[in-house]
Chain A
Amino acid sequence: MARFDDVVVRSLAAEPPSCSYAISPTQANFQAAGGAGSVSVNAGSGCTWTATSSASWITISSGASGSGNGTVGYSVQANTTTASRQGTLTVAGLTLTVSQAGAPPPPSCTYAITPTQASIPAQGGSGTVSVTTGAGCNWTAASNVSWLSITSGASGSGSGVVTYSAAPNPSISQRQGTLTVAGIAFTVTQAASGCTYSVTPTEAMYGPGAATGSVRVYTNDWRCGWNAQSQVSWISFPNGSSLPGPGTIQHAVAANSGPPRMGRMIVAGTTLTVWQAGKSGSATLWYIPPGRRIQPMLDQAQLGDTILLEPGATYQGFVTLRKKDGSGVLTITTADPSLLPPPGVRITPPYFAKLPKVISPDNRPVITTEAGASLPFGGAGGRRCGGTLHELADSTRLRLANLPE
């Protein structure tokens, strides 16, 4: 008979060590800005562990797993919300609670600007306004008048600079405008412009008889007064010589029985030139200033009249000789015959510079004639040369005065 007792079967395999774990700390607090942290793992040799994060804003940066003692590094992202939050790391089966404060509420912003006012000359200009405030404080800048404009810094965050530009002030009164910068008024005072005037026309030509004319004066402000003065006795202002603002002034020209004359009057600071034809017996003597067109005077003149051109001056064609009724000739000659040889003496090239000239701007003839018209050559008399004078226009310079008969 066999007897048995106390049967025991034991495993001989090495048991894994009985592992116990501890972590430190078990809680961590972070400001809203976040940051890095670490947690120490205390474990026996050979005791393995892992670390995981339960929150997307907590990231294991090192030591995601280990054996025995170790350290887990982690980082906490910035909390951009104002609410605090909590997350956990599970390290070696233990929980590390991570608390993070919410972002601070936006700061209570205060603003200041420097300067608070500026003066700008009448012709305009630019300037700057400095804004002083805290970081993250937003502001804007805007103009409340059309002549002030923001050229840079229309908005900003934190301290900054606004640049503005003022247009010229056309008024004779100073003006003010404001920029609202960061809610604060910035006052710009712009100086007044002086009165400015423009006058038209600036010259006039009259016949030998008494005549009147008018001159229009424009100003930049209705309050800009002005007056007129004549520098010659034969020009007068029968209706008054001043006006308180823009307007028209009448002037009168006395009859002229002598040679052509020129006088000046000063209207609102502008000098106006007046030419008046003269008389020689029954003939009218017309004077055409240099640079003026010949044609109007030529059309106005009658047979028997004389048109005087400035010695040495150049007049631009074209000139059309029209058929005029009556008898006699229309003479075009130099205004100063004394500069030329006496009648009967041939004009030689040295005198050419003293002759008035009529030129053509292109290849068209300088002078053409209507049928029945005639052209006098010379100063004391004339010959009819009707119909064919335009052929002379092949030359760019036609000397009209004192031509030999």
Chain B
Amino acid sequence: MTPPTALAQTVLFSDDFAAGLSSAWSVIDEGTHYRPSNWWVTGGVLEQSSNIHDNTNDRNVLPKLGTYLLVGDPNWTDYSVSVRMLATDDDALGVMFGYKDAKNYYRFSMDQSRAYRRVVKFVNGTVTLLAEDAVAYEQNRWYALEVRFSPGVIEIWLDGVRLFRIADDSHARGRIALYS
């Protein structure tokens, strides 16, 4: 299965990082350990090399605050986010979407050491698990992630496979972020 392609989709934003890290991105560090983050572009690839985290190794602790690189329009709605991502270690990485502020957004993340792929939502700082499986990613493998975020419906596609379809209308619009 491949994600359906809408006719005449409008590209709201794209960045292949060929020109480095543009000023459109904003770095938000929330992790309390190994601060600050270290976002940089090399060879046309964006990397975050800091092991910044909030010192919650427990798999079931949902916030998992680290760092994210924020971009976009807070009024974006009904959009998809495609990104290729790869981890050279075993920590979580993913994409945040429907981002209103630091306490209100959705986040897809996958973790190799804790073996999960999950979607959580932050609503006024309260974190809720929306979907999850117990699959760990493979290190050093490029994954093609697509998050389809329509008001009320969230779909997570990974390498052309839909992992989750979630009905939730907590957030209808917002920016995106790359999470690490």
* A residues whose Cβ falls under 8 Å from a Cβ of B: 1-15, 18
Residue pair B7, A8 in contact (C-beta under 8 Å): no
Q: Are B84 and A6 in contact (CB under 8 A)?
A: yes
15 A–B contacts from the bound complex (CB under 8 Å):
A4-B93, A5-B84, A7-B15, A7-B176, A7-B178, A8-B11, A9-B72, A9-B79, A9-B80, A11-B10, A11-B79, A12-B78, A12-B79, A13-B10, A15-B6
A145: min CB distance to chain B, Å: 93
Q: A2-B91, A12-B9 known; A7 and B47 CB under 8 Å?
A: no
Kindly provide the distance from the CB of A46 to the nearest chain B CB, expressed in whole angstroms. 13
Q: Are B80 and A4 in contact (CB under 8 A)?
A: no
Minimal Cβ-Cβ distance residue in B for A15? B8
CB pair B80–A12 under 8 Å, yes or no, is yes
**Nearest-Cβ distance from residue A383 to partner chain B, whole angstroms:** 152
Bitwise, B58-83 to A at CB < 8 A (1) or not (0) is: 00000000000001100011111111
Contacting A10 at CB < 8 Å: which of B16, B79, B178? B79
* Number of A-B residue pairs having CB atoms within 8 Å of each other in the complex: 113
Residues of B within 8 A of A11 (CB): 6, 9-12, 76, 78-79
- The interface residues of chain B lying within 8 Å CB-to-CB of A12 are 6, 9, 78-80, 148-150
Further 20 A-B residue pairs, CB within 8 A, beyond A1-B47, A7-B16, A7-B176: A1-B89, A2-B86, A2-B180, A3-B85, A3-B86, A4-B45, A4-B85, A5-B16, A5-B142, A7-B15, A7-B46, A7-B83, A10-B10, A10-B11, A10-B12, A10-B80, A11-B10, A12-B9, A13-B78, A15-B10
**Residue B49 at the A interface, CB < 8 A?**
yes
Whole-angstrom distance from the CB of B170 to the nearest CB of chain A? 18
Q: Are B83 and A8 in contact (CB under 8 A)?
A: yes
Residues of B within 8 A of A10 (CB): 6, 9-12, 79-80, 82
CA distance A13 to B12 in the complex (A): 11
Which A residues are CB-close (under 8 A) to B176? Answer: 7, 9
* B20 at the A interface (CB under 8 A): no
Residues of A within 8 A of B14 (CB): 6-9
Inter-subunit contact B13/A3 (CB<8 Å): no
Per the bound structure, the CA–CA distance linking A401 and B17 in Å amounts to 164
Query: Are B8 and A9 in touch, CB under 8 angstroms?
Result: no
A residues less than 8 Å from B45 (CB atoms): 3-5
- Which A residues lie within 8 Å of B84 (CB)? 4-6
CA of A312 to CA of B176 in the docked complex: distance in angstroms?
148
**In the docked arrangement, what's the CA distance between A1 and B180, Å?**
8
In the complex, B44 has a CB within 8 A of chain A = yes
**What's the nearest-Cβ distance from chain A to residue B97, in Å?**
9
Closest residue of A by beta carbon distance from B150: A12
**Chain B residue at minimal CB-CB distance from A11:** B10
Residue B88 contacts which of A3, A8, A18 (CB distance < 8 angstroms)?
A: A3
Contact A2 B93 (CB under 8 A): yes
Residues of chain B contacted by A1 (CB below 8 angstroms): 47-49, 87-89
Q: Are A5 and B11 interface neighbours, CB within 8 A?
A: no
CB of A8 to closest CB in B, whole Å: 4
C-alpha spacing A2/B77, complex, angstroms = 27
Separation of A15 and B16 alpha carbons in the complex (Å) = 25
Q: Which residue of B lies closest to A13 (CB)?
A: B78
List B contacts of A8 (CB < 8 A): 11, 13-14, 81-83
CB contacts (< 8 Å) of B11 on chain A: these are 8-11
Per-residue CB proximity of B166-180 to A under 8 Å, as 1/0? 000000000010101
**Chain B positions 26 through 48: 1 when the CB is less than 8 Å from some CB of chain A, otherwise 0:** 00000000000000000011111
Interchain CB contact (< 8 A) of B6 among A5, A7, A14: A14
Q: What residue of chain A has the Cβ atom nearest to residue B42's Cβ? A: A3
A264 to B77, CA, bound (A): 137
Of the residues A6, A15, A18, contact of B83 by C-beta under 8 Å: A6
